Amino acid sequence: MARDNPKQCTLAHEVELAGIGIHTAEAVNVRIRPAAAGTGVVFRRTDVADQPYIPAALAFVTSTELGTTLGAGGVEVSTVEHLLAALAALGIDNAAVELDGPEVPILDGSFGPWIEAAREAGTESQPDGATTIEIADATTVQGEGDSSYVALPYPGLRISATIDFDHASIGRQYGDFRLDGPGFEREIASARTFGFYEEAGALRSRGFGRGASLDNTVVLDGEGVMNGDLRYPDEFLRHKVGDLLGDLSLVGGRLRGHIVADRPSHAGNVALARAILRQHESRQRAREIDIRQIMEYLPHRYPMLLVDRVIEFEPRKRIVGLKNVTINEPFFRGHFPEHPIMPGVLLVEAMAQVGGLLLMDAVDDPRDKVVYFMSLNNVKWRRPVTPGDQVMFDVEMQNLRRRICRMKGKGLVDGKVVAEAEMTARIVDK
């Protein structure tokens, strides 16, 4: 949760809008209604039998070509990013979006009408705390083509972006936007989607852009912008930033971090959102593994319990545990007492204990099991470990068949490998 423990928020009243889809050209009516705490944003196609709900979540993304499409049960809703960006910018966690067609209407091509509609409806605080997804560690993602992203820790929400188009009216543009509070409405909301006149025929033949016009799209031809004046000198860049926020909202919480995006695309945006969500879920799982649970799962006790904390955990895939080495470790009294060095066999033992915790997720009741290591291969010690070091053990599962597992692990101090090994272990009954 966020540091100030914000509460979830929904609309105070329902609101309706109508327009055409930029790709389908179909007329669509949209009603956005309040939703209960914990619902999230969900879409419902009222023109389809049984009216299935489609959550605005990464697991339901079905396409990122020229927009973001969500689907469930064979039913899809396309071009959701503008509406989602507006709801995210206003901190609206829960809303039910009902529409009688396959595509969210484009309206004037910007995020502004959705912001205005939500403002008209008003917002209402809910008793449950909002989910805040904070970027804790630097994350790098390579998107499609030349697009790339870096996500960094930051106390608020900040997006720095660069676009580069081979057109005199766009070229290379860069901007840095702080989107907390009114930042989105002031800096991004009015920026419209854009396209190139020479590509229109080919896109329409593929079923895209059939509803595009000068009323809802900034259109560029060989001479420049066909619509007249732009709303911002860098309107193209700002619209890409808004699309990025809409796609990132699919993580399912209020995002906190600094996103640096180079040539963002919908596919790359979604890939970044998936990476951020994986990091968040890994940290959430790791927080649940404290020293008390470690002692429940491992039979070791002082002085042979060599795992202090688990900081990352992906079930049946990967685990990262920490060992803080102090001068008070009992082995230093007899192992090079004048030049204390942690015994190499204990480094491997600590790595094996971290690996044992990873295996405990592979059985129904880990408290009735114990892990015995059967073999060690390619064991290497690279650097000495001395008092004051914090060893991070990173263990990956290579193969699990029945109750026999092969793992590969390494220990690092300040990012440098101090030990590594390949391990085979068996899970047995106590």
Which amino acids are annotated catalytic? 266, 335
Over the range 178-213, which residues count as b (16 or more CB within 10 Å of their CB) and which as e?
Answer: ebeeebbbebbbbbbbbbeeeebeebeeeebbbbbe
The interaxial angle of helices 112-121 and 81-89, nearest 10 deg, is 50
What six digits make up the tokens of 384?
């000495």
Per-residue DSSP letter, 144 = S
Contacts of 397 (CB under 8 A, 6+ apart): 316, 317, 318, 358, 405, 406, 407
Assess whether the previous peptide bond of 315 is cis (omega < 30° from 0). Answer: no
How many angstroms from the chain centroid is the CA of residue 402?
Answer: 33
Contact predicate 136/255, CB 8 Å: no
SS3 of 314, please? strand
Contact call for residues 31 and 43 (beta carbons, < 8 A):
no
**Cα R_g (the chain), whole angstroms:** 26
DSSP-derived letter for residue 92 is -
Query: Where are the strands (E) in 15-60, listed by range?
Result: 15-20, 27-34, 41-45, 53-55
Q: Which amino acid is at 28?
A: V
Query: Which residues contact residue 271 at a Cβ distance below 8 angstroms, ignoring those fewer than 6 apart?
Result: 141, 143, 149
The pair of structure tokens assigned to 181 is 């509070």
Q: Please, which residues have CB within 8 angstroms of residue 336's CB and are 6 or more apart in sequence?
A: none
Residues with Cβ within 8 Å of 17's Cβ and at least 6 positions away in sequence, in order, are 29, 30, 32, 105, 107, 113, 114, 117
CB 261 within 8 A of CB 158: no
DSSP-derived letter for residue 77 is E
Contacts 24+ apart (CB under 8 A), 375-378: 375/423, 375/424, 376/348, 376/421, 376/422, 376/423, 376/424, 377/421, 377/422, 377/423, 377/424, 378/420, 378/421, 378/422
